[in-house]
């Protein structure tokens, strides 16, 4: 009896972490995405979200280099911290998760002016037809 190879379900959705395209995101974008990523989903989506959270998260070095603070539930992000970017690998499914999260925030009218560039990078250009 021959052995059937076991497929990695993440390969089937096109999420190969090492070969995924990268997105250069500054600290404010990373914090915003961490805040809006879904906390529920199917097992494949949750594993992708977990990997995204690991990549987007701030290391001790990020915090010390950027001067970012967190006090009383609010982030303090110095202007110069916006120049510090980190390449975040995101496969097709990870990009879809981010796109859906951004669209949901926009649909609720909760997208800030600072997130326009981020929205356009993942969702597409904003047209005059959109509410």
pLDDT at 4 exceeding the cut of 70: no
pLDDT at 85 exceeding the cut of 70: yes
pLDDT at 6 exceeding the cut of 90: no
What pLDDT shows up at residue 17? Answer: 47
Confidence of residue 5 (pLDDT cuts 50, 70, 90): low
In this structure, what is the dihedral angle of CA atoms 63, 66, 70, 75, given to the nearest 10 degrees?
-140
Taking only the tens place, the pLDDT of each residue in 10-64 is: 444 444 444 778 999 999 999 999 999 999 999 999 999 999 999 999 999 998 9
Map out the domains of the chain as residue ranges. 16-120
Cβ 56 vs Cβ 89: under 8 Å:
no
Could you list the beta-strand ranges (E) of 2-93: 22-26, 69-71, 74-76, 85-89
What pLDDT shows up at residue 37? Answer: 96
What pLDDT shows up at residue 95? Answer: 95
What is the phi/psi pair of residue 77, to 5°?
-120, 110
Q: What mean pLDDT, rounded, does the chain reach?
A: 85
């Amino acid at each position: 009896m021959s052995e059937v190879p076991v497929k990695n379900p993440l390969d089937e959705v096109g999420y190969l972490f090492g070969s995924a395209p990268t997105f250069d995101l500054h600290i404010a974008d990373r914090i915003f995405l961490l805040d809006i990523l879904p906390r529920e989903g199917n097992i494949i989506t949750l594993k992708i979200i977990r990997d995204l959270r690991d990549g987007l998260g701030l290391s001790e070095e990020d915090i010390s280099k950027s001067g970012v603070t967190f006090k009383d539930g609010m982030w303090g992000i110095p202007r110069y911290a916006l120049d510090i970017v980190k390449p975040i690998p995101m496969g097709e499914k990870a990009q879809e998760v981010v796109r859906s999260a951004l669209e949901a925030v926009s649909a609720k009218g909760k997208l800030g002016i600072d997130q326009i560039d981020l929205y356009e990078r993942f969702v597409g250009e904003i047209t005059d037809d959109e509410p």
